[in-house]
Amino acid sequence: MTTSREALGKTFSGPILKRSLVVALVVGTILNAINQGPEIVSGQPVVIWKLAMTFCVPFCVASYGAYSALRSR
């Protein structure tokens, strides 16, 4: 089994980090379009913390999935 520290190091470096960022960008963009689409299209202000969290959540989920997979090896 991989130690927690090794798994964490691998999770936030190289290709795994890049994949988590791509997932966050794609999923976050789609969710922001769903959740705040009317405001974005009409030029009204959006809720910034919601916009940021909508990108952070998929990043955390993808990173945790990678961490869990590495940890169980």
| Greatest C-alpha distance within the chain | 52
What's the CA dihedral at 57, 8, 23, 46 to 10 degrees? 30
Residue showing tokens 């009204």: 44
Per-residue pLDDT of the chain (73 residues; tens, 9 = 90+): 678 999 999 999 999 999 999 999 999 999 999 999 999 999 999 999 999 999 999 999 999 999 999 998 7
Strand intervals (E) in the chain:
none
